[in-house]
Structure 1
Amino acid sequence: MPKKIIQRFMPDHQKIKDNKHLKMFGALLHNANLWHLNRRSVSKAFAVGLFFAFMPVPFQMVLAAGFAIIVHANLPLSITLVWITNPLTMPAIFYFCYVVGTWVVDVPTRNFAFEANWQWLIDSVSTIGPAFIVGCGVLAAVFALLGYFTINIIWRFSVAKEWKKRKARRGQATPSS
């Protein structure tokens, strides 16, 4: 069942409640619904986490946490999924966002070399920035919807399978006359 698999990887509730960046949510973090693992909260968590994973903004975890609170998604899972974009995966994911953006905006891809300085960033905002932002938005929406519906389908399939097993066990356990 997806619930058992997800529970193995879930961070401790208290660690999240004690996180210095999430303290700003105060008593909202004490809502028990944010910590439950059920089909609706997990599906929403995948949508929230995957959406903010593709957003090229600072404090993605805080944004994901705030939105998870608003839509009553599983908070730890929403925050954890943001880490799909991490320092190792970010260059490839964001380059893919740029390529998708150029396709959507219908502009040719430009050759560029990343430089870690403000001048390069300022110059890039006008050249590759629009395609990059559009690509991030498109992929954020696509993966959020894909994550939501995929988890929903997997969860329903898993529950139906468990019910079928339970029914078969009950059928075998009935004494025959």
Structure 2
Amino acid sequence: MHLHYRRFVLRLYKRFRHPRKLKQSRLHKWFALHFLDKTVWKPTRHSFAGGLAIGLFVNMLIIPGQMPLAALLAALFRVNIPIAIVACWISNPVTMPPIAWWEIEFGNWLCHTLHLGNPPPLDWKDLKRILDEATGFWNFFAQLKPWAASLYIGGSVAGVVLGFAAYAVAFVLWDLLLTLTHRRVKDDDDENDSGPDNSDSGQSGRRS
């Protein structure tokens, strides 16, 4: 199954990267340039850290379509697309209400501090009531309209800070991750190499 999938991906990659295809339209050329570049799929120190940073930034933006936006930004900035998409999964139906409430509180504080307005406060009980009364995803956002400025100001600032912090941590810990991965692979190889030797020694002992 894995071999067939790999062959399918390689055929698709070669097809879209074919010079004849690239000359058909500018959109096709742009898509191949950004989404079919090996840099955005093969993790490196920079691409992994950058993908994590972009994914966490988009994760703090409480908007629909987070994963497509994260994939688009990762492709534009030439960082790892899968890591950016996975980082968006932190925001889900369970974690979204507390994240939204914290961002509104943080956004209210920024608005008052920077004199950007006087948004109304939002109590946690009121947010739970809005969530219970909401008939759907869009209705929930419609009821948060009085706090929309605080939500996106707080989320954008928090996303930028979290993104830079995540990039720095991932960039520094990349060597540690590679060391642990290499050690695990090396240990597995040692176990595999020692297996046949032990069996041969046991067989030779029984023969003697």
Q: TM (normalized to structure 2)?
A: 0.59
CA distance in 2, matches of 1:52, 1:72: 16
Cα RMSD over matched residues? 3.1
Q: Give the SS at the match of 1:57.
A: coil
Question: In structure 2, what is the equivalent of residue 146 of structure 1?
Answer: 165
2:77 equivalent among 56, 71, 90: 71
CA distance in 2, matches of 1:148, 1:130: 27
Conserved 8 A contact 2:111-2:150? yes
Residue type at the aligned position of 2:150: A
Cα distance per residue 1:115-172 (max 9 Å; x no partner): 31567744531x222211211111111111111111112225667999xxxxxxxxxx
1:98 and 2:104 matched: yes
Residue type at the aligned position of 1:143: L
Higher relative contact order (CA 8 A, sep 6+): 1
1:16-165 map, 5 Å: 26-27=31-32, 28-106=34-112, 107=118, 109-111=121-123, 112=126, 113-114=129-130, 115-117=133-135, 121-122=141-142, 124-125=144-145, 127-156=146-175
Q: Give the SS at the match of 2:121.
A: coil
Residue ranges of structure 2 left out of the alignment (5+ in a row): 1-5, 13-27, 113-117, 182-208
Q: From the superposition, tell whether residues 161 and 64 of structure 1 become closer, same or farther in structure 2 (CA, over 3 Å).
A: closer
Q: From the superposition, tell whether residues 31 and 92 of structure 1 become closer, same or farther in structure 2 (CA, over 3 Å).
A: same
CA distance in 2, matches of 1:61, 1:34: 15
CA distance in 2, matches of 1:120, 1:60: 17
Residue type at the aligned position of 1:124: L
Residue type at the aligned position of 2:37: N
Q: Give the SS at the match of 2:157.
A: helix
Cα distance per residue 1:28-79 (max 9 Å; x no partner): 4321111111110011001110011011221111111011001111111111
CA distance in 1, matches of 2:60, 2:104: 11
Residue type at the aligned position of 2:134: A
Q: Give the SS at the match of 1:98.
A: helix
Q: From the superposition, tell whether residues 87 and 121 of structure 1 become closer, same or farther in structure 2 (CA, over 3 Å).
A: closer
Higher helix fraction (1 or 2): 2
Residue type at the aligned position of 1:78: A
Q: TM (normalized to structure 1)?
A: 0.68
Q: Give the SS at the match of 2:144.
A: helix
Aligned residues: 143
Q: Percent identity?
A: 26
Q: After TM superposition, give the deviation of residue 26 of structure 1 in Å.
A: 4.9
Q: Give the SS at the match of 1:73.
A: coil
Residue ranges of structure 1 left out of the alignment (5+ in a row): 1-11, 18-23, 163-177
CA distance in 2, matches of 1:35, 1:81: 15
